[in-house]
Chain A
Amino acid sequence: MSYEIKPGAKPSVRISSEDARVRATGADIIALDRYMAIEFKDEANKLFHRYGLPEGAQNFKHYLRYFGRDCYEMNAGMVKFNFVFSLLFVVRKLSIHRKRISILEIGATLGENYYLLRKLIRRERLPVELDYVGIDLDANAVALAGELHHDDEHFRILHADGSDLSRFPDQSFDIVTSNGVVNYVKDPKLGFGEAMRVSQFCLHLQALISPGEEPYWVTYQGGLERAVAPTIDYLTDLMRPFAPLYFYDLNKFWWNSDRSRKTETSDGNILEDIDEKMMNRKILMFTRYEIFPELYFLKLNVE
C-alpha cells in the first residue's frame, strides 16, 4: 500500500450522552451525521475531536440552507462543496463522451447535491443531461425532496435502503455516489458491494476515514455496531472482489485544500488541523477505467 496517512493515537470512541437521543426509528442505516454527534476522546479521556453538526443544525433542515445560495459563495472548506465539486469533476470527464449521465445517490436526503450539481453544470454550459435517482431512508425527507423537485423530470427520489439495491440491475448507473452514508450501513461489505454492482463507470464516495490501522467502530443503542470511520485498507479490501479497478483519493485534489480548521473543545482548548492529526474526511473514487491517467501518483490498482 503506497498510501500514507499520518498516524495518530488510537482513540476511544463514545457517543456523547446528551446527543445520543434517538430522533428517528425504523432505519437500518443510522445516519449518524444527521441525528447525533460523536465525540472522540484519547486515552486520557480528553476530547480531541467532536464530529457532529454545527450548533443548532438538526435533522435535515440544515441541508436547506444550501438551496438558496449561490454555489460559488460556498466556503471551499465545506464538506458539501468538496463533494459536489469532485462529483462535477467526474461528470465533466464523462461529458466528453456521454451526453446523458445517470447518477444514483445513496442517502440523497433533499436532493441538495443534485441541485448544486445541476446548477454548476448549467453554469458551465456542459452539454449533458442528468438522470438523477436518489434514495433515502427518511420518509419525510423523501416526501420533501419529491416536492422540492416536483417539476424536474430528471430527478427521482425513492424511499429505499442503501444496503438493498436489488431493484436495480447490474451497472444501471454511470455514477453511484454517496456522501458519508455507505460506510454507516449495517453490513459495509454488502453496502459497498451493492453500490459497486450497480455502478458502471464510477463509484464516488465521501467518507470519514480512520488514519489508524483499525476502523473506528461505534456501538449503537441496541448493540448494533457501525464502522463510522473505516481505514483505507479496510475499504480497498471490501472493493477487492470488483478488481480490476482504480482507486483515487480525491482528498489530494487542489480544490480540497485543507484550511487550518480550528475547533474549540469544551474545556476551552483550541484544536488545529484536526483532520491532519486524527480524522480525514476523504473523497474516494473507485472506477473500472483509468479516467485520470495523469494522476499517476494518486492511482492505486487494487488488483
Chain B
Amino acid sequence: MKLSRHAGLFVKIRGSESVVHFGAINLADLKIVADLYEVVLFRKLRRALSNGLISQAESSGASLGLVLASAVTRIIGARPRSATTITHLNETCGPLLEALRLLRAGGGREARMHYRAFIPNLEHVRYFRAFNEVIAETEPDITTDWISTKGRLGPVPILAADTTLAVVDLFKTDSSSLFRILDRQFSADAESAPLLIVARVALESGIEVTDVTGLSYVLPSLAQIADWCEGREVTASYLLLEDFDRDFLLPFEGRYSVCLLYVTVGKDPEFRGFGFRAIGDSRHGGTQLPAVVETVTRQRNYDLSFNAKLPHFEAEPEPDWRAWAEERAWDPAPLNWSGGPSPGDPFVFAVRSEKTPDVMECFAQLARVDVDAPQLGSFGLLQTAVCATDLPIVDRVSMMLRAVERENGDPMLVEFLARNLHDATKTRRSGGTATSLADLVRVFPAIGWTTPASTASTLREAAGIMKASPDFMIRLEAALDEFNEGRG
C-alpha cells in the first residue's frame, strides 16, 4: 500500500477511488484506514502465493507491516522455544498478524505460533473478529485470541510467563507513552518479555509535532531513550525507518523518524543484525549516546519480498450475465402460490396488523388453540417461538414442544428445535452450561409423544450443539406443567 498526500488534509489511497478526509475522522479511524487496507492487501498476496499466482516475490521495502513482521520473525527465530506467543498491546484489525501469515506463506518458519491481541478500540475488536474468528475460521496456521482493553492502551502487563515477544505499535498515537510502557515492562525483578515498539522518535531533543487533529506534543528522542537505558540491565536496539508506506499518513511538522525499538532484559547475544543498532548503556556494548542518524537504514533481507507491482483490488472478471441468467432461468408463473404450509399460518403474519394490534392478545389466541384442530402449523409455531421475544419463555417452549409433537419427530425439525431451544433460553448472562439432551428426550413422553429411536439418536447428535442456561430445565418443566394443564 502506498498512501500519498493530496490537497492538504485529503489523502487518496492509491488503487482506490476513495478520498479520505482526515479532518473529518478521528484518530482511531485514521489508524484503521491504513491498517484495514494493509490487512486486505496481505491477505490478497497470501492467497496469490498459495494459488501459485505469485512465485518469486520481491519487496519494495515500503511496507511497515512487513518490516515489523520480519523483525518479529527474526527475533523469535533467535529465541527458539517450544511454544511461541506474540502479544500485541495496541492492536487494531491485525495487520501484523496478516504480515506474519504472509511471511509463512512465502516459506517462513512453520513453528506453532499463538497471537494474542490487546485491542483498545471496541470497533477495532469487531474488525479483528471479522477477519480472524468469523471469516478466517478455516485458517488455523496461527492461533489467535484477543482481549478488549476498552479504550485504554494495552495494560502493559509484565509479560514474562507465556509471552515470547511483546509488540506495541505507537505509530499513530502519542509516543509520549513510550517511557510509561518501558517503565512498566522493565520495572519488575522477574524476567520480562522483550519488547518491540514502533514509535515516532525525534533525532534531536525537543522536537514538537502537530498532527492533523491539532494535537501538539514533544516526541521522545533517541538521547532520552539512551538516558532511560542508563543504569538499567537492559539491551536496547533501534532501527530507523524512512520513506515507507505510512510516512505520508500524518503530515507532521518537525524532524523525526519512525523507529523500531527493541528492548530486552540483560544481554541479548542471540539477536543479531537486521540493521538494528545498539542504544544505551556502554556496559552492554552500546554507544553512550547515539549519534544523530539522518541516513536511511534500508533493509533488503526481508524474509519475504514481493514485486513492486502489487496485485490490484479488481474483482475477478465479470461473467457473461446473459449466460448467467439463462443458466438460472425458470418460470414461476405456472406455480400455485396460494398453497401455504398450514392454513393456520396466516395467524402468525396477522399479528400486529390493524385487526389484532395487540401482540400479547394475539399470542394468547394462539395459546388457546385446540391441539386437535390446529390453527398454526408446526413451522409457524416454531417461528413464533423463536422470534417472538416478547413472549415469556414458557409460552415459547410450549410452542416448540407442540410443533415437535405435531411433526412426529422429524429429525431435521428436532435438530432445528434443539438449536432454537438454545437460542430461546440463551441470555447474555448465561454461563453456557451444557444441558444433557437426554433430559430433553425425557420430557417428550411427559407430553404424550414417544420419541422414535432414530430421533433420539439425532437428539444425541445435536447435544454437542445445544447449550442452555443452568435453570433451563426448571423453566422447561414449568412450561410442560402449564402445557399439560392447558391440555386438560
Identify which of A143, A252, A253 contacts B16 (C-beta below 8 A): A143
Q: How far is the CA of A109 from the CA of B38 in the complex (A)?
A: 19
Identify which of B16, B129, B337, B359 contacts A139 (C-beta below 8 A): B16
* B-contact 0/1 string along A99-118, CB 8 Å cutoff: 01010000000000000000
Which residues in chain A, 92-150, are within 8 Å of chain B measured between CB atoms?
93, 96-98, 100, 102, 123-125, 131, 138-140, 142-144, 146-150
Which residues in chain A, 249-303, are within 8 Å of chain B measured between CB atoms?
252-257, 289-295, 297-298
Which residues does chain B contribute within 8 Å of A252, judged by CB atoms?
352-354
Which residues in chain B, 132-152, are within 8 Å of chain A measured between CB atoms?
133-135, 138
CB within 8 Å for A292 and B349 given contacts A68-B126, A125-B415, A168-B325: yes
A169 within 8 A of B: yes
CB-based contact A58/B25 at 8 Å: yes
Which residues in chain B, 299-324, are within 8 Å of chain A measured between CB atoms?
313, 315, 318, 321-322, 324
Q: How far is the CA of A256 from the CA of B387 in the complex (A)?
A: 10
Which residues does chain B contribute within 8 Å of A67, judged by CB atoms?
126, 129-130, 134-135
B17 within 8 A of A: yes
B338 within 8 A of A: yes
CB within 8 Å for A58 and B29 given contacts A26-B17, A157-B315, A294-B349: yes
Q: How far is the CA of A24 from the CA of B333 in the complex (A)?
A: 43
A156 within 8 A of B: yes
B389 within 8 A of A: yes
Q: How far is the CB of A17 from chain B (nearest CB, A)?
A: 13
Q: How far is the CA of A85 from the CA of B18 in the complex (A)?
A: 32
B340 within 8 A of A: yes
Identify which of B19, B348, B354 contacts A297 (C-beta below 8 A): B354
> Nearest chain-B residue to A254 (Cβ)?
B351
CB-based contact B21/A294 at 8 Å: no
Q: How far is the CA of A25 from the CA of B18 in the complex (A)?
A: 7
> Nearest chain-B residue to A149 (Cβ)?
B135
Stretch of B39-47, B244-252, B442-450 at the chain-chain interface: B39-47
Q: How far is the CA of A200 from the CA of B335 in the complex (A)?
A: 14
> Nearest chain-B residue to A159 (Cβ)?
B315
Q: How far is the CA of A289 from the CA of B36 in the complex (A)?
A: 44
Identify which of A58, A62, A123, A253 contacts B349 (C-beta below 8 A): A253
CB within 8 Å for A169 and B387 given contacts A21-B24, A68-B126, A257-B352: no
> Nearest chain-B residue to A35 (Cβ)?
B24
A154 within 8 A of B: no
Identify which of B330, B338, B349 contacts A290 (C-beta below 8 A): B338
Task: Report the interface size for chain B: residues with CB under 8 A from the other chain.
Answer: 67
Q: How far is the CB of A34 from chain B (nearest CB, A)?
A: 12
A61 within 8 A of B: yes
CB-based contact B126/A98 at 8 Å: no
Which residues does chain B contribute within 8 Å of A85, judged by CB atoms?
387
* B-contact 0/1 string along A166-199, CB 8 Å cutoff: 0111011110000000000000000000000000
Q: How far is the CB of B309 from chain A (nearest CB, A)?
A: 17
Q: How far is the CA of A12 from the CA of B282 in the complex (A)?
A: 73
Q: How far is the CB of B213 from chain A (nearest CB, A)?
A: 15
B271 within 8 A of A: no
CB-based contact B21/A23 at 8 Å: yes
Which residues does chain B contribute within 8 Å of A147, judged by CB atoms?
40, 43-44
Which residues does chain B contribute within 8 Å of A73, judged by CB atoms?
426, 428
CB-based contact A61/B16 at 8 Å: no
CB-based contact B315/A142 at 8 Å: yes
In the complex, besides A123-B416, A143-B16, A254-B387, 9 extra interface pairs with C-beta distance below 8 angstroms are A24-B18, A24-B19, A61-B127, A125-B416, A139-B17, A167-B318, A174-B328, A295-B349, A297-B354
Listed from nearest, the 3 A-B pairs whose CB atoms lie closest are: A254-B351, A294-B346, A172-B325
A-B residue pairs in contact (CB < 8 Å), sample of 17: A24-B19, A61-B29, A98-B332, A123-B419, A131-B328, A138-B18, A140-B37, A146-B315, A151-B138, A172-B328, A200-B332, A252-B352, A254-B348, A254-B362, A256-B352, A289-B335, A293-B338
- Chain A residues in the interface with B (C-beta under 8 A): 4, 21-26, 56, 58-59, 61-62, 64-65, 67-68, 70, 72-73, 76, 85, 93, 96-98, 100, 102, 123-125, 131, 138-140, 142-144, 146-151, 156-159, 167-169, 171-174, 200-201, 252-257, 289-295, 297-298
